[in-house]
Amino acid sequence: MKALEVARQNKVIGNALEAKVDLYAGGEVEEFLKEMSSELATIFIVSGVELHPMSEAAAGASKSEEMELAVKVSPAGGEKCERCWMYHSEVGADSDHGSLCPRCADVVRKHHC
């Protein structure tokens, strides 16, 4: 939860889906984030969250003074999916559903069958 607070301070939460978040963590924080890595994008309400070792923390990352955590927010790559509003590099890859991400294209296809 502390990690999430830091992210909130750094205005990660509140940013729309048009962002991706790079997290740099070490020690216990890294272990904690790894355990919940599949839920991070949902928790942060962004299109993607990537976890990196603290040693890779980029110059533009905001570092926490209290623990081994740094956060960097950048614009998400790719196009916006019309259905889920997530940015995804493969939107349009499906010829039947040119404005959807692969996951939504799949869902829509199954729904119609």
Q: Which residues bind Zn ion (CB under 5 A)?
A: 81, 83-84, 101, 104
Task: Choose between 22 and 79: whose C-beta lies nearer to Zn ion.
Answer: 79
Task: Choose between 76 and 101: whose C-beta lies nearer to Zn ion.
Answer: 101
- What residues have CB less than 8 Å from 18, skipping those under 6 apart? 47, 75, 76, 80, 87
Token look-up 């790079």 returns: 22
CB 105 within 8 A of CB 97: yes
Task: Choose between 10 and 47: whose C-beta lies nearer to Zn ion.
Answer: 47
Smallest distance from Zn ion to CB 112, Å: 16
Smallest distance from Zn ion to CB 78, Å: 11
CA-derived radius of gyration, the chain: 16
Smallest distance from Zn ion to CB 19, Å: 16
Largest Cα span, the chain: 53
